[in-house]
Amino acid sequence: MIVAEDVHVHFPTGLFRRRVRALDGLTLDVRDGDFFALVGQNGAGKSTAMYCFLGLLRPTSGKVQIMGQSPELGARLYKNVAYLPEEPHYHLYLTVEEATRYYSSLYGKRVSDKTIDDSLERLGLAQFKTLPLAKCSKGMKQKVGIAQCLIHEPQVLFLDEPTRGLDPLIVREFRETLREIHQRGATIVMNSHVLSEIEMLANRVAILDRGKVVVQDELQNLLTLNQELYRVVFEGNGVVPEYLTAVERTGHLVRAFLPKARLCDFVELVRASGMLLHECSLKKTSLEESFFNLVKGEATLTENAGGNREVSVS
Amino acid sequence: MTELLKANIWADVTFYRRSKLLLAFMLVFLLLTALQSLPPLFMDSGVQSFNSLQQIVADLNFFLLILAGGMGLLIISSHLRNRNLKMVFTKPCSPELWLLSAYLSAAAMSLFLNLVVLGSGVLLSVLWRLPVRMGLVFVSAETFAVSLGLIAFLMLLAMIMHPALAAIVALIFNADLFYQFDVWTKAAIRSGNSSIALRMVERLFHGLYILLPMVYPFDKQTQNIHTSLRVMSGEWKYLLFSLGYTLALSAFCYCVSLFALKRKNHI
């Protein structure tokens, strides 16, 4: 569906035209129907990669293809593609309603007033529809971007930091909408710094660092359960057994890790002392931890005995 | 395609309507023109009224040319600098179509303003009891034809350089300047200075004069119409010639602008 092979993007900067490598051999493969997340630090090359996919940036070298075609400016293949930019690069002189109508009509299809009104209503923009974009907040501009993205039910969506500046209610609704679109069969490529959001939505993830893909895999392979360690949360009453590690106290509440070998001892202690146990579950490696460990080089993706891939910390 | 063209032209016309810079420019000029038209109200002489009419029409048409160039410059530079073309070119709207829409929208605005100026000229003629001369129609039509070339040229300049630089090039380094330089170097050569360097400079100035677009390509032939506002039957052909010249210039500028737009590394 979307392929990038050894893509390099170099920018000349400064007086001596020093070359900055925005992408340094990026290789990616997004499959049909994927909810694909690009994760990385600032400057890792996520947005640059997206610009290359959309033909907005010509790579210095390498090959990029969407649906088997090279992306060109305004190509016909964008009939089924929608893009939400990170920065609100909109036509600021248009009003909320005019901008939504204009962007929607660029697909070459007539859009009814009702469709526009419904879309604005859904995103809570109905009362601001006569407001020029120049006077809108960042969140409102983002909502206009979302409205124009979703109006034609695209097959491929490119979302660059889609929930930046949105209020929590809209974030939740937007997430649901994305799930619906994905279930309908659309392919979604999303950049985000909100890793918890990616955990909720994506099925495949690529972690980028300095213009390269460090890891590209199923999300599940990056979210492994540690079989040897439990995470416990309890009300301590001053008693904290010495076998607990990484102890954190917040008021009466204690958070710590418990080795599997001492589980019975801990349960016995809880029963005997009458401590209030809030949580006791196998420690889960979050995407945030995997990301941190992989980018810092403290972890690698290895194959376990069952033939599944998992993140192992060195 | 028609839907796309319509959508883009509508967005561009909205841009012109809401551009504060263009509005301020227009208001200042209209104010000056209004002040200029005050004295004839207190005069009884037909000659003086005609002179005032001729001056007002000439000033307004000159202003329209500057405005047309400004529209061509602003529509490109504003979109490029705001980087909102990202929203256009990630949809099935080709650069060819977008550029054509930008040109047509500026041309439509120019046509509308030319009709307003023509209407004002006719109205003033009636108010001051002067015969409505066909020269008014000729001058307006010629100004519109010339504005088409200026729009395309300024669009090209805005596409390849900073808008301030583009304005300087259009206002100062134009064909008139190099024509004067050419005349000056030719005169120097004729007066006896025939050094190779001067001959080379003369060739350079002559080349630049030929290459750069002329505002009024048939200036000498139509000068009389501008002053008398009368048109002889054989003079209408210059209107067609002007239109032909500016359309050819527009086509050339459009192709180069499109090439430059497509060659941009980063939209």
Task: Inform me whether the C-beta atom of residue B195 falls under 8 Å from chain A C-beta atoms.
Answer: no
* Mean pLDDT lowest among A68-82, B73-87, B206-220: B206-220
pLDDT of residue B11: 94
Residue A220 has a CB neighbour count (10 Å cut-off) of: 13
CA distance A284 to A210: 27
Q: Residues of B18-42 as b/e, b for ≥16 C-beta within 10 angstroms?
A: ebeebeeebeebeeebeeebeebee
Cβ of B82 within 8 Å of Cβ of A85? The answer is no
At A195, the pLDDT band (50, 70, 90 cuts) reads confident
Substitution target in B15, B16, B90 with the highest count of A β-carbons within 10 Å is B90
Cβ of A107 within 8 Å of Cβ of B86? The answer is no
Cβ of A91 within 8 Å of Cβ of B91? The answer is no
CA distance B70 to B29: 14
Per-residue pLDDT, averaged over B25-48, amounts to 77
* pLDDT at residue B195 tops 90: no
Q: How many helices (H) and strands (E) does chain B have?
A: 11, 0
Please tell me which residue, B115 or A305, carries the higher pLDDT value: B115
Alpha helices in chain A (DSSP H): 46-53, 96-105, 113-122, 138-150, 168-183, 195-201, 219-222, 263-273, 287-295
Substitution target in A23, A91, A130 with the highest count of B β-carbons within 10 Å is A91
pLDDT of residue A87: 82
Q: Which residue matches tokens 């890891």?
A: A215
CA distances from B197 to A204, B180, B188, B208, B224 (A): 69, 18, 12, 16, 39
Task: Inform me whether the C-beta atom of residue B2 falls under 8 Å from chain A C-beta atoms.
Answer: no
At B248, the pLDDT band (50, 70, 90 cuts) reads very high
Question: Which of A217-226, B16-25, B103-112 is modeled with the greatest confidence?
Answer: B103-112
At B75, the pLDDT band (50, 70, 90 cuts) reads very high
pLDDT of residue A275: 84
Report the SS3 class of residue A64. strand
Substitution target in A93, A135, A189 with the highest count of B β-carbons within 10 Å is A93
A50 to chain B: closest CA residue: B90
Per-residue pLDDT, averaged over A256-282, amounts to 88
Per-residue pLDDT tens for A214-235? 888 888 877 766 677 888 998 8
User: Bridge partners of A20?
Assistant: A11
Q: What's the farthest any 2 CA atoms get from each other in chain B? A: 64
User: What is the DSSP annotation of B107-148?
Assistant: HHHHHHHHHHHHHHHHHHHHHTT----HHHHHHHHHHHHHHH
In a 13 Å sphere around the CA of A177, the CA atoms on its Cβ side amount to 20
CA of B157 to nearest chain A CA: how many angstroms apart? 21
What are the φ and ψ backbone dihedral angles of A2, each rounded to 5 degrees?
Answer: -130, 120
Closest CB to B267 among A56, A90, A94: A56
A100 to chain B: closest CA residue: B87
Per-residue pLDDT tens for A92-148? 999 999 999 999 999 888 888 899 998 888 888 888 989 999 998 888 888 888 888
CA distance A86 to A159: 8
CA of B95 to nearest chain A CA: how many angstroms apart? 7
Cβ of B92 within 8 Å of Cβ of A78? The answer is yes
ipTM score for this prediction:
0.84
The token duo for B171 is 């206002």
Instruction: Judge contact between B61 and B117, C-beta under 8 A.
Output: yes
Per-residue pLDDT tens for A18-29? 888 888 889 999
Mean pLDDT of chain B: 88
Mean pLDDT of chain A: 85
Between A and B, how many residue pairs show a Cβ–Cβ distance under 8 A?
96
CA of A48 to nearest chain B CA: how many angstroms apart? 10
Cβ of B92 within 8 Å of Cβ of A85? The answer is no
Per-residue pLDDT, averaged over B240-266, amounts to 91
Closest CB to A89 among B19, B83, B92: B83
* pLDDT at residue B196 tops 90: no
* pLDDT at residue A63 tops 70: yes
Task: Inform me whether the C-beta atom of residue B94 falls under 8 Å from chain A C-beta atoms.
Answer: yes
User: Bridge partners of B113?
Assistant: none
Question: Which of A84-93, A298-307, B159-168 is modeled with the greatest confidence?
Answer: B159-168
